[in-house]
Structures are given as C-alpha cells and as structure tokens.
Amino acid sequence: MPPKHQSRSIHHAFVTGATGLLGNNLVRALLKKGIQVTALVRSQQKALEQFGNLPIHFIEGDICQPDSYQNHMQGCDSLFHTAAFFRDSLKGGKHWQELYNTNVKGSLELFEAAYKAGIRQAVHTSSSAVLYGEQNQLIDESMLRSRNTSNDYYRSKILSEEVLLDFSKKHPDFFVSFVLPGIMFGPGDIGPTSAGQLIFNFVHKKLPGIIPGSYSVVDARDVADCEILAMQYGRQGERYLAAGRHMTMEELFKNLEAVSGVAAPTRRIPLFLLKIIAQSNELYHRLTKRPILLSKAAVTSTEEEYLRTHFNSAKSQNELGAHFRPFEETLKDVLAWYKEHGYLS
C-alpha cells in the first residue's frame, strides 16, 4: 500500500527514453493513471509504431541537444528521466565520451531546461551499479561505489547522480529522487535490451553454456510503478532501489527452462575462457569497427559483480509502497509478448 502522507501531484509528465523498455512501460503506466504525457524520442516513426494511437505528444529530439526539446517542456509539471547511453558501450571499444555526454552532461542540461520551463519535480533513473558491497552481502542505498571505478558506465551513472544532487542543492525548490533498477525484463522490449537478447538466444539455443555471473532481476513494469511512487512519495535527494531478486545465471536459465520448455545449457564456461574470447572480439572490433557480442567491459563487469547482486529494496517497499512481482510471472509475460508480436516463431 502507498504511504498515507500527502503525495505530490502529477498532471503532465515529460518522459525521456520513452521507446526503451522502462520508458514505454512508464508511459503506459502514466496514461493508465490519467496523466498527460509528452515523450522525448529519437524517432517519431518508431514511437508511433510502438504506441499506436495512444494519446501521447511525441517530441523528436536528443538529450544532448537541449534546443531540440526544451520549448516542448512548457506546461509539463514532472520530469521522468529514463534515457541513458548503455547498450552500445558493451559492443567493443571505449565509449567514455558518449557516456559522459549523455549520462552526465546531457542529464544536467535536461534538468536545467526543465527548471527553465517551470518543472519543479523529477525522478532520475539511476542504477543499482552505483552501489557496491562484498560477495553475498545484502546491499542497500547507503553503500556507494567509488567514483574511481574502472567501469565507464558505472562511473557515468555515479557522476550523473552527483551533478543532479548538486543541481537540486542550488535550486532548493526543485525536488529530485533516484530510482535504482537491477537488470530489467518485461513486455515491450522491442530493442531488444541485453536482457531481451538473452531470452532470444536461450529460446533459439544459441547460448553455449553457463557463465559465472549473477544478477538482480526485476520487472520493468514494477520499476515504472516505483518511479511514479518515488515522484509522489519520495524524499528529496533519496535513492530507492528497485532491484528485484538476486539470481545466478544458472538459476536464471532454470527459470527460463521451466517457463519456455526449452532445455537449459549445462556446460560451464570458465572465466578465463570468457576473457580470451573477449580479447579476440575486441581485436575484431578494432579492425572492423563492427559491434561484438562479448566485450572486455562486459566480462570485467561480470567478474566484478558476481555474487554482489543481493540488493535490499525494503526502503522502496516501506517508504513508497513499491511491489515486485515473482520473476516467473515476468518471464511468462515476456515470452507471451514476444510470441504475440512475432519475435519468436
């Protein structure tokens, strides 16, 4: 149940990243609550194909180019920032400048534009990656990762939090809270995300084996609901985990096997072999400039985060009234959505 104290009202929301997995589920959740939505998208055609005739005002623009969207923020009272540079950062090579320009500089410019337009409340989609603990330790919002991390994506999300907190201190009439998702699965993953691609590869038996990885898995619909609750009931400058359930890769495969009927791979792939494959992939990327399936960044992240994905979402549940459905339910809904939309034969 939501908290009993008075909530902030949301009448007209400006949503970034609206065609992404989280963004599109957030837009639909807002519309169901009767909230007007203006959505910033990279492609209006893609957005229209995705949302059909839903009553959404689409703005074609770029987070890194405030002139492309700032005039359209007029009349909005709430900002939900879900857009980020992430997926391409795992396809080989170095991407720090793009990560910084979008996730740090772009986020700050977005908030500055929102403030000039009269918006005074925002929820920023951060990441559970800004937190860090020991293996098998229960991690909460107070356990911050060092900004000196070697992972460029993690560092960009840490810095984005820092600049936005600093922004809110300079503008005390501006409310901001942060929602920290784990690895999101859910219907509407048209990208697909890396999580969606994992499901495709599993169903089509393209996964060679089990890697020594662990994750905190969560339904994107539950994260969307958590963002709305954070806007309504969150405390100024606070982080709220929406990380879901800890799961090893082996456990994830067993869940997929039970839901899909496809036998899970049983061969175990050692970490040293992943590193060798990633090194050769990176060489291929440098020579061809083409994206790769396994990068050094992805392997390093897998190694660093193994068994460090036990996150405690009690604060979100107690303060906001957040709810996280069983992961098996999520997988069933995802597979049903993919089949309905022709992604799976």
Whether residue 4 has pLDDT greater than 70: no
**Top mean-pLDDT range of 1-15, 82-96, 194-208, 252-266:** 252-266
Strand order in the sheet with 175-181: 56-60, 36-41, 12-16, 78-81, 121-125, 175-181, 239-242
Question: Which CATH number does 12-189+217-244+310-326 carry?
Answer: 3.40.50.720
Q: How confident is the model at residue 149 (pLDDT cuts 50, 70, 90)?
A: very high
The full set of domain ranges for the chain reads 12-189+217-244+310-326
Gyration radius of the chain over CA positions: 20
pLDDT the model gives residue 218:
98
Q: Specify the pLDDT at position 326.
A: 96
> What angle, 0 to 180 degrees and rounded to 10, lies between the N-to-C axes of helices 220-233 and 21-32?
60
Banded model confidence at residue 288, pLDDT cuts 50, 70, 90? confident
The pLDDT tens digits for 253-287 are 999 999 999 999 999 999 899 889 888 888 887 88
91-126 pLDDT, tens per residue?
555 789 999 999 999 999 999 999 999 999 999 999
User: pLDDT value at position 89?
Assistant: 46
- Coil, strand, or helix at residue 216? strand
In this predicted structure, the answer to whether residue 50 has a pLDDT above a threshold of 60 is yes
CA gap 243, 215 in Å, rounded: 9
Q: pTM (2 decimals)?
A: 0.94
Cα–Cα distance for residue pair 174/3, rounded to 1 Å: 21
